[in-house]
Amino acid sequence: MESLIPIIIILAKVIGITFVLTLPIIAYSVYAERRFAAVIQDRVGPNRTGIPLTIFGFKKDISFFGLLQPLADGLKFILKEDFVPSHVNKFFFWLAPALTMVPALVTLSVVPFGSTLFGEKLVIADASVGPLLIFAIASLSVYGITIAGWASNNKYSFFGGVRSCAQMISYEIALGLSVIPVLMHFGDLNLSNIVAEQAKNGWLILPLWGEGLTTERMLLWIPMIISFFIFTISIFAETNRMPFDLPECETELVGGYHTEYSSMKFALFFLGEYAAMIVGSALIVTLFLGGWSIGFGADAWVFETFGDWAGLIHLGVFLAKLVAFILFFILIRWTVPRFRYDQLMKLGWVVFFEAALINILIAALIMTYNRGQLSNIELAGATAGVVIFSVVMFYIAKSLDRMLASDAETPAKS
């Protein structure tokens, strides 16, 4: 019987984090987006769907401010006709939606949702290579979108799939490079340890207590802010959110890679996008904003005061930060216009790739000097090297960009 206890605990974590927390957050993110968009556009939004008491003879329904709208949407998708066009590759056509939704849910297994609850960490798999595992699994979702575009046997869907493949690969490079200074600073790939360190010595972009007030942390604040900026924008591109939603650009590609999809298969693409948005928000909160940490030294007080129940307080803090960042995603979508595709790729390859590389060198230089491993002369030489490297990188990038632009503008010879 005792051998079953660890299995029961793992199952409880999977059910609690995946089905009790994550899936309702995904459903109500859709509701929040519709209400948020209505506020921005001076509309009402979904505010009617509730308990239909009139069908049972009562005089009035209970609207609940439209909070049951996600349930109605799910029921609608389930009951709609599951139409499969005759010209598609049926096996891959059915496989693609699952390849989009499943990786987003699996990556949440290594994200710590809280500290500890009765001695158990609030994370499904406390992996020692958390960020690497997230990047490895999340990158699989591009296969779902690309296969959907190809299997649909439709030129608009195919263009959407190709766009998504190029976009996600381009920004995965900037995403991975931007997180290197963070991992260099912590010297650890375990996300639980990274959050615990921030709780003790200051959040990465708010180092205002503990060892966060040291000279090294203050100097590192600049490269960490740069990493945060690049990482956040790259997450927008990775999740195909506005202003980077070129793979499903309705003004050019009808619906992009999911043009031929309907019913629950379309719903899986839709939910996969929101699940990826939640994973991206959770990762940003965990790496840069202290995760479940309340901050300012208050976590030690919470542990002393609430004991084994402290994990619930920290869970609430994490969810509050997560919801705030999801609302930020929604705000950006409804306020920033869509990029052109050439602007999107130029931002990824000409700006973010070089900036992330230079940021790694700056962070390494600061860390090495503050630990007494560089003399002043060596520091001056290394700084000059970083400046020269930066100039050369941007010159090469701009030269290639101008060359490609001139080739595109040159008319083809008959």
The confidence score (pLDDT) of residue 11 equals 87
Q: How far apart are CA 68 and CA 352, in angstroms?
A: 41
The confidence score (pLDDT) of residue 250 equals 62
Split at pLDDT 50, 70, 90, the class of 247 is: low
| pLDDT tens column, 128-187 | 888 888 888 888 888 888 888 888 888 878 887 888 788 888 888 888 899 999 998 888
% the chain with pLDDT above 90: 8
| pLDDT tens column, 79-126 | 888 888 888 888 888 888 888 888 888 888 889 988 888 888 888 888
Amino acid found at 25: I
Split at pLDDT 50, 70, 90, the class of 323 is: very high
| pLDDT tens column, 275-288 | 888 988 999 999 99
Q: Left (φ > 0), alpha (ψ -120 to 50) or beta: where does 136 sit?
A: alpha
Q: Is the peptide bond before 243 cis (omega within 30 degrees of 0)?
A: yes
Going by C-alpha positions, the residue among 401, 402, 410, 358 that lies closest to residue 382 is: 358
pLDDT at 403 over 80: no
Ranking 63-77, 208-222, 303-317, 367-381 by mean pLDDT, the lowest is: 367-381
Split at pLDDT 50, 70, 90, the class of 351 is: confident
Q: What mean pLDDT is predicted for residues 261-275?
A: 84
Q: What mean pLDDT is predicted for residues 36-51?
A: 84
| pLDDT tens column, 47-78 | 888 777 777 777 777 777 788 888 888 888 88
% the chain with pLDDT above 70: 94
Q: What's the chain's average pLDDT?
A: 83
The confidence score (pLDDT) of residue 341 equals 77
Contact partners, residue 267, CB within 8 Å, separation at least 6: 74, 77
Residue 205 near residue 224, CB atoms below 8 Å: yes
Going by C-alpha positions, the residue among 194, 201, 185 that lies closest to residue 129 is: 194
Split at pLDDT 50, 70, 90, the class of 404 is: low
Going by C-alpha positions, the residue among 228, 247, 229, 242 that lies closest to residue 331 is: 242
pLDDT at 33 over 60: yes
The two structure tokens encoding residue 358: 């230079």
Split at pLDDT 50, 70, 90, the class of 322 is: very high
pLDDT at 414 over 50: no
The confidence score (pLDDT) of residue 249 equals 67
pLDDT at 228 over 90: yes
Q: What mean pLDDT is predicted for residues 216-229?
A: 88
Q: How far apart are CA 197 and CA 195, in angstroms?
A: 5
Amino acid found at 66: G
